[in-house]
């Protein structure tokens, strides 16, 4: 793994912490085989590393470590209020990975976790069992790339491939895989399925460069979408979060127009639009970590524990992007958060 920062920092995943209980797990063995030069350190529980006192999120982000663990928690959670269910009745999410390879300045994960290290839960098969137990009661719409970017990790984990195989056996299960990655090539050989939604978050090139450090630029993401569409996938396009930055109108105009110049409406499942929004406590943590952030210096308004832009700016952003998107996509396909 390359290091994006100072040459004095160790590369990402230079150290891999492995819970004693998962050393014999097949996923563990496969993942470790990809990091032959990393130092492997045995641990009792992932929280011994992940939940230490006084950790510095930003420093760790410069050289994140990988922690392989077993998830004994709930495995599946009901969908969050701030996330769109796209009209699906039984909306759930699951996190096989905590934290992300990218370093987006507005990312809520900085406010959620005290560590920037990446925890990868290797007991994916337990999640499948849990999903099957829920599927016996009703259909499920499940977001699997939550609290992480699963496609960015696909070369390491192979989890998306496993999920798509699993979905193939369950017609009443629909999954969303949301990403900023340009790594579609890692799954390009898989036959498209109607109940698997590949969703790309798109941001203007200027925003990618300035605020989405480590994530592929707009054109790379768009190219990945194009490859997916060419292989028969219907994709979800997410202009979310919209950011109130200097020149935002120009940036988003170019971004939306460039997107639909390449991707035709018939290949689009739907479009999601939403402004930056975040839980009050998470924002507080983020401001503490990154006090110099221009994005976070906005005088956010708080309603029901969620912070976002003023009503005026919210409307400006959403209406502008909505009107632009509706020039290319039917209104019934456009969801506003």
φ and ψ of 157, to 5 deg: -100, -40
Distance in Å, CB of 233 to another protein, minimum: 39
The region of 40-48, 77-85, 228-236, 269-277 touching another protein under the rule CB under 8 A is 40-48
- Measured over the CA atoms of residue 90, residue 279, residue 212 and residue 260, the dihedral's sign is positive
Distance in Å, CB of 284 to another protein, minimum: 10
The region of 7-15, 126-134, 156-164, 324-332 touching another protein under the rule CB under 8 A is 7-15
316 part of the interface to another protein, by CB under 8 A:
no
* DSSP single-letter state for residue 178: E
190 part of the interface to another protein, by CB under 8 A:
no
Q: Which is nearer to another protein, 44 or 155 (CB)?
A: 44
Calpha distance 97→67 (Å, rounded): 10
Please pick, from the candidates 291, 304, 327, 332, the single residue that binds another protein as defined by CB under 8 A. 291
326 part of the interface to another protein, by CB under 8 A:
no
332 part of the interface to another protein, by CB under 8 A:
no
Distance in Å, CB of 304 to another protein, minimum: 20
Residue listed under structure tokens 């998306």? 160
Distance in Å, CB of 273 to another protein, minimum: 21
Query: For residues 176 and 197, is the Cβ–Cβ distance under 8 A?
Result: yes
Query: For residues 266 and 301, is the Cβ–Cβ distance under 8 A?
Result: no
Q: What b/e string do you get for 13-34 counting C-beta neighbours within 10 Å, with b at 16 or more? A: bbbbbbbebbeebebbeebbee
Q: Which is nearer to another protein, 17 or 211 (CB)?
A: 17
Instruction: Kindly report whether the peptide bond that precedes residue 163 is cis, defined as omega within 30 degrees of 0.
Output: no
17 part of the interface to another protein, by CB under 8 A:
yes
Distance in Å, CB of 73 to another protein, minimum: 22
12 part of the interface to another protein, by CB under 8 A:
no
Query: How buried is residue 297: exposed, middle or buried, by Cβ count under 10 Å (0-12/13-18/19+)?
Result: exposed
Calpha distance 3→62 (Å, rounded): 7
52 part of the interface to another protein, by CB under 8 A:
yes
DSSP 200-268: EE---HHHHHHHEETSPPHHHHHHHHHHHHHTT--EEEEEEEE---TTHHHHHHHHHHHHHHHS-GGGE
138 part of the interface to another protein, by CB under 8 A:
no
| Residues 139-168: x where in contact with another protein by CB under 8 A, - otherwise, as a string | ------------------------------
Distance in Å, CB of 43 to another protein, minimum: 7
247 part of the interface to another protein, by CB under 8 A:
no
**Interface ranges with another protein (CB under 8 A):** 6-10, 14-15, 17, 39, 41, 43-44, 48-49, 52-56, 59-60, 62-63, 65, 244, 291-294, 296-299, 313
């Amino acid at each position: 793994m390359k290091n994006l920062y100072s040459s004095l920092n160790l590369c990402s995943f230079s150290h891999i912490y492995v819970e004693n209980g998962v050393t014999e797990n097949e996923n563990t063995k496969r993942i470790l085989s990809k990091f032959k030069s990393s130092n492997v350190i045995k641990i009792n529980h992932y929280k011994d590393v992940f939940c230490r006192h006084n950790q510095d999120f930003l420093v760790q982000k410069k050289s994140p470590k990988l922690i392989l663990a077993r998830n004994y928690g709930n495995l599946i959670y009901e969908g969050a209020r701030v996330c769109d269910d796209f009209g699906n009745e039984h909306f759930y999410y699951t996190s096989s990975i905590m934290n992300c390879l990218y370093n987006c300045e507005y990312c809520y994960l900085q406010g959620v976790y005290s560590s920037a290290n990446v925890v990868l839960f290797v007991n994916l098969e337990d999640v499948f069992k849990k999903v099957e137990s829920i599927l016996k009661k009703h259909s499920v719409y499940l977001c699997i790339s939550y609290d992480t970017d699963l496609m960015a990790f696909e070369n390491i984990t192979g989890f998306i491939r496993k999920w798509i195989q699993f979905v193939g056996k369950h017609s009443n299960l629909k999954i969303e895989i949301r990403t900023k990655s340009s790594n579609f090539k890692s799954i390009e050989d898989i036959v498209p399925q109607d109940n698997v939604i590949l969703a790309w978050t798109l941001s203007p090139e200027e925003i990618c460069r300035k605020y989405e450090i480590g994530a592929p630029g707009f054109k790379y993401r768009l190219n990945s979408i194009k490859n997916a569409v060419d292989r028969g996938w219907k994709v979800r396009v997410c202009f979310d979060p919209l950011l109130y930055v200097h020149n935002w109108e120009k940036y988003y105009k170019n971004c939306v127009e460039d997107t639909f110049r390449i991707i035709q409406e018939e290949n689009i499942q739907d479009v999601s639009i939403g402004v930056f929004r975040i839980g009050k406590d998470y924002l507080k943590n983020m401001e503490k970590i990154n006090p110099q952030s221009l994005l976070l210096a906005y005088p956010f308004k708080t309603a029901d524990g969620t912070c976002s832009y003023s009503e005026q700016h919210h409307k400006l952003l959403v209406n502008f992007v909505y009107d632009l998107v509706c020039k290319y996509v039917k209104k019934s396909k456009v969801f506003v958060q």
